[in-house]
């Protein structure tokens, strides 16, 4: 199954943090990374810019097991305060899992806010422009065209590999 993750960092050596998270995610299954993008913090002020990337992960892992594995990676890398808007060493979000629609108290797939965030959709479009959001029926490229987020996002030229 094609799974799409979004990763971001705005603390410490941001680039190194993304590469370390990517290395650990590759232990879960085949993974391909997008370019790394820089963006202003979304919805908060007074924080440093984020580096963001998307990862296409191919594995048959179940949603909650994937959440547990990505949360463990965040914890091992020093992430604190999961779920708030504080600066973070690493943030790993599950965006899409094929055509799965999954909702419980710990996880919602597709990610409920990804359609409103161009720092997620732009790198995601690089890896899976024709992937379909099972909730809206739109492809990622169509979601990018429809996204109203005007936050600045620019490619760094660095490929996550």
Q: List the catalytic residues.
A: 79, 88, 91, 93
- The closest alpha carbon to 2, from 149, 132, 152, belongs to 132
Distance CA 141, CA 127 (A): 10
Q: What is the chain's alpha carbon radius of gyration, rounded to the nearest angstrom?
A: 14
SS3 at position 139:
strand
Cβ–Cβ contacts within 10 Å for residue 160, how many?
21
- The closest alpha carbon to 76, from 5, 4, 27, belongs to 27
């Amino acid at each position: 199954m094609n799974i799409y993750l979004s990763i971001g960092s705005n603390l410490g050596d941001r680039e190194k943090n993304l590469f370390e998270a990517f290395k650990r995610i590759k232990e879960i299954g085949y993974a391909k990374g997008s370019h790394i993008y820089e963006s202003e913090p979304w919805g908060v002020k007074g924080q440093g810019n984020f580096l963001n990337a998307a990862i296409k992960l191919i594995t048959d892992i179940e949603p909650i097991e994937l959440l547990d594995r990505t949360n463990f990676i965040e914890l091992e890398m020093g992430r604190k305060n999961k779920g708030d808007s504080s600066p973070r060493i690493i943030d790993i979000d599950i965006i899409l899992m094929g055509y799965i629609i999954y909702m419980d108290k710990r996880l919602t797939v597709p990610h409920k806010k990804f359609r409103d965030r161009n720092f997620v959709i732009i790198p995601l479009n690089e890896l899976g422009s024709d992937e379909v959001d099972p909730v809206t029926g739109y492809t990622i490229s169509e979601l990018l065209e429809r996204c109203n987020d005007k936050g600045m996002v620019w490619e760094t030229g660095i490929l996550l590999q």
